[in-house]
Every structure is written in C-alpha cells, then in structure tokens.
C-alpha cells in the first residue's frame, strides 16, 4: 500500500496541531543529571563493596545495583538521540 500526500507541509502542520505527531526535544539538563546519578551510584557501590566477603550473598545486591546504573546510562543514551555531541 502506497500513500501519496499532495501538500506535505500542510499535512505536517495539521498533524502537529492535532497532536498526532510531536517534535522531539532533548532535555540536556535531565540527561546530565541522570548521568551524574548513575556515576554516583557506581562510586557508592564501589566504596561499599570493598568490605563484602567473597562468599557473601550480598554480592547479589552489588551486581543488581551495577546493572541498574548501567541500565540507567543506557536509557540516558536513548534520550540523547543525535545530541550527545552537542551536550559536551
């Protein structure tokens, strides 16, 4: 199925006014804040995990928190789109 639009600009404005589509905006401050939180999480994990014995079941929580920090940074990268280079 092929769809032809006669006046693309007019159709775009109509869709925008109806809320059918939205322009993507990137919140650089949110991205920076989420990055800082993830980094602080890793620092915290590193400092607290030094005293955990190797055979302790507490490592489960350490790995879970590492994973959460990693996942947070991954979601953060998805927020950046092509603007990562712009944010510095």
pTM of the model: 0.58
Q: What is the DSSP letter of 21?
A: S
Q: Where are the domains of the chain?
A: 26-87
Q: What is the DSSP letter of 53?
A: -
Per-residue pLDDT band for 88 (boundaries 50, 70, 90) equals very low
Contacts of 67 (CB under 8 A, 6+ apart): none
Token reading at 46:
């590193």
Distance CA 26, CA 12 (A): 21
User: How does pLDDT run across 1-60, given as a tens digit for each residue?
Assistant: 777 778 888 888 888 888 887 777 778 888 889 889 999 999 999 999 999 999 999 999
Report whether 21 contacts 15 (CB < 8 A).
yes
């Amino acid at each position: 199925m092929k769809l032809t639009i006669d006046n693309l600009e007019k159709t775009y404005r109509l869709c925008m006014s109806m809320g059918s589509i939205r322009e993507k905006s990137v919140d650089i401050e949110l991205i920076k804040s989420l990055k800082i939180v993830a980094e602080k999480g890793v620092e915290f994990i590193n400092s607290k995990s030094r005293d955990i014995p190797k055979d302790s079941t507490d490592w489960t929580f350490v790995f879970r928190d590492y994973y959460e920090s990693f996942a947070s940074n991954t979601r953060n990268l998805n927020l950046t789109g092509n603007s990562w280079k712009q944010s510095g």
